A and B are shown apart, each in its own frame.
Chain A
Amino acid sequence: MGLDKIWVFGETNGDAVASITLEMLAAARDLADTVEVFMAGDGDDFAEELGEHGAETVYSTGDLDGGLQGVAVAAAVAAAVDDGDGPDAFLLGTTQDGRDVAGRLSVKLDSPVITNVVALEADGDELIGSEPVFGGTTDVRTKNTSGKAGIFLVRPKSFEAEGVGGAEADTEDLEVPDLGAVGGAKVTNSYVEESDGPKLDEANIVVSGGRGLGEADAFTMVDDLAKTVGGAAGASRAIVDAGWVPYSMQVGQTGKVVKPTVYIAAGISGATQHLVGMKGSKNIVAINKDPEAPIFAVADLGVVGDVHKVMPALIDALKAR
Chain B
Amino acid sequence: MKVVVCVKQIPDPADPGALDPETKTLKRDSKLILDESDSYGVEMALQLVDAAGEGEVHLVSMAPNNEVAGLRTALAMGAASATVVSDDALQGSDALGTAKVLAAAIARQEPDLVLAATESSDGYTGTVPEQVAALMDLPSVTFAKSVAIENGTAKVQRQTEAGYDDVECPLPALVSVTAGVVEPRYPSFKGIMAAKSKPVDELDLAGLGVDASQVGWAGAGQEIVSIAEAPAREAGEVIEDEGDAYERIVAFLDDLKVL
Q: Is the CB of A184 within 8 A of B173?
A: yes
- The contact of A145 among B143, B221, B256, by CB within 8 Å, is B221
Q: Is the CB of B124 within 8 A of A189?
A: no
Q: Is the CB of A106 within 8 A of B131?
A: yes
Whether a CB of chain B sits under 8 angstroms from the CB of A34 is no
CA distance A240 to B180 in the complex (A): 8
CA distance A286 to B218 in the complex (A): 46
Whether a CB of chain B sits under 8 angstroms from the CB of A183 is yes
Q: Is the CB of A182 within 8 A of B137?
A: yes
List residues of A (101-136) whose CB comes within 8 Å of B's CBs. 102-104, 106-108, 110-116, 123, 128, 132-134, 136
For residue B33, which residues in chain A have a CB less than 8 angstroms away from its CB? none
Whether a CB of chain B sits under 8 angstroms from the CB of A318 is yes
Interface size, B (range) = 35 or more
For residue B245, which residues in chain A have a CB less than 8 angstroms away from its CB? 287, 303, 305, 310
List residues of B (52-70) whose CB comes within 8 Å of A's CBs. none
Name A residues whose Cβ lies closer than 8 Å to a Cβ of B: 13, 18, 68, 70-71, 74, 94-96, 99-100, 102-104, 106-108, 110-116, 123, 128, 132-134, 136-148, 150, 153, 181-194, 204-205, 229, 237, 240-243, 246-248, 253-254, 261-262, 264, 273, 279, 283-285, 287, 291, 296-306, 309-310, 313-314, 317-318, 321
Total number of residue pairs linking A and B with CB closer than 8 Å: 271
Q: With A96-B161, A247-B159, A317-B246 known to touch, is A107 a contact of B99 (CB < 8 Å)?
A: yes
> Which stretch in B77-85, B164-172, B191-199, B200-208 binds the other chain?
B164-172
* Chain A at the B interface: SS class: mixed
> Which stretch in B2-10, B107-115, B234-242 binds the other chain?
B234-242
- The contact of B167 among A68, A240, A306, A321, by CB within 8 Å, is A68
Q: With A99-B130, A302-B239 known to touch, is A116 a contact of B125 (CB < 8 Å)?
A: yes
Q: Is the CB of A107 within 8 A of B139?
A: no
CA distance A116 to B168 in the complex (A): 29
For residue B226, which residues in chain A have a CB less than 8 angstroms away from its CB? 139-141
For residue B166, which residues in chain A have a CB less than 8 angstroms away from its CB? 187-191
- The contact of A246 among B99, B163, B227, B253, by CB within 8 Å, is B163
